[in-house]
Structures are given as structure tokens and as C-alpha cells.
Amino acid sequence: MIGTRDKVIQYLLEQDCSKKYEVKDYKPKRSLNANGYCWVLCDSIAKELSKEGSITTKEDVYRDSILQIGTFEPMIWEEKNFEKCKGIWQKQGLGFLVQEVARKNKCVKVHCYYGSSTYDSKEMSLLIQSLVELAESLNLETKSKSEIDSLLRSWK
């Protein structure tokens, strides 16, 4: 149940006394509007880039943007565990990327990027701005700055 303090108290007073309940602060989920707009941009950009002959998917555009502006953790993995560790990281989602940086002494230095599902409003704003700039460079229509700001206000 989600509600004000008084609503939650009233609800609990009406419940079975033998049951246990967990009460925690409500934190609204990220805005699907901002996420949705991110994917609209990725799709438009992919379609425009695909007109040049080579096929580009919206997922390709998204991943490229994550690599350009995304937050990453630098890590060093043993070479023998590289593929396993890479697979585990990437199973978290589409934007969870592993970029190999160097190999030395049977170790692999990598940058492990986080997907946008973990982004706060500042990070999501950077991602969308990067996509907007790319879209504009391709002469694609984008939302106005005020519309984008409105979408981002409700992000995490």
C-alpha cells in the first residue's frame, strides 16, 4: 500500500493483528517518459543511420551513447575468468557493457559500464542530451529543451 501516514495507519488498524508488516519510505519509480523518449531518440537515429546502407539498431545507438557518456567501474580480471565475468556483468541489462582496455600478465583491464536503469536525473539528462545532439546533427526533429526538462524532472 502507498499512502500518507494517516492512510497507512488507518489501513494497519484494520488488518489482522497476528500478521507482520513492513513500512518504508515511498520512493517514486523513475519516469518512463524520460526512458521512453530515450528510446524514441535511439530508434529515430537508428532509422536515419540505416538509410546510409549499413543497418544500425536502436540498441546499437543506445550502447554507443552509454559508452560515450556513461559511468563505469574500472576493474582488472584474470584472463581465464574474462568471458565469465563479462557475461555476468552484461546479464544485468542492455546498457551494462564491458570495454576491454588492456591485457598484461594474464590479466585484463576493463571498464564496466552501468546501464541507464541505474542513472540518476543528472546522468539521464546527459544521456538524453547526447542523443538529442546526435539527432539534431542528423536533422531529426527533437523535443524542445523545456519539454525534455519536464520529462527529466520526474526521473529518480
pLDDT in tens, 2-53: 788 888 888 888 988 898 888 887 765 555 588 899 999 999 999 999 997 8
Say if 18 falls within a structural domain: no
**3-class DSSP state for residue 3?**
coil
Who's near 64: CB < 8 A, 6+ residues apart? none
The number of folded domains in the chain is 1
- Kindly compute the dihedral angle of the four CA atoms of residues 91, 97, 99, 103, in this order, to the nearest 10 degrees: -20
Whether 147 is in a domain gets the answer yes
Q: Please report the pLDDT score of residue 155 as a whole number.
A: 64
Indicate whether 21 belongs to any domain.
Answer: no
The predicted pLDDT at position 150 comes to 83
In a domain, 124, yes or no: yes
pLDDT of res. 24: 80
Q: Is 135 part of a structural domain of the chain?
A: yes
**pLDDT score of 65:** 97
pTM, rounded to two decimals: 0.75
Q: Does any domain span residue 20? A: no
Residue 65 within any structural domain of the chain: yes
DSSP string over 4-15: -HHHHHHHHHTS
Structural domain boundaries enclosing 97: 29-153
Mean pLDDT of 73-96: 97
| Mean pLDDT, residues 59-63 | 98
Give 95's pLDDT tier (boundaries 50, 70, 90): very high
Please give the grid coordinates belonging to residue 10: 488507518
At residue 118 the predicted structure's pLDDT band, cuts being 50, 70 and 90, is very high
In angstroms, the CA 31 to CA 53 distance is 35
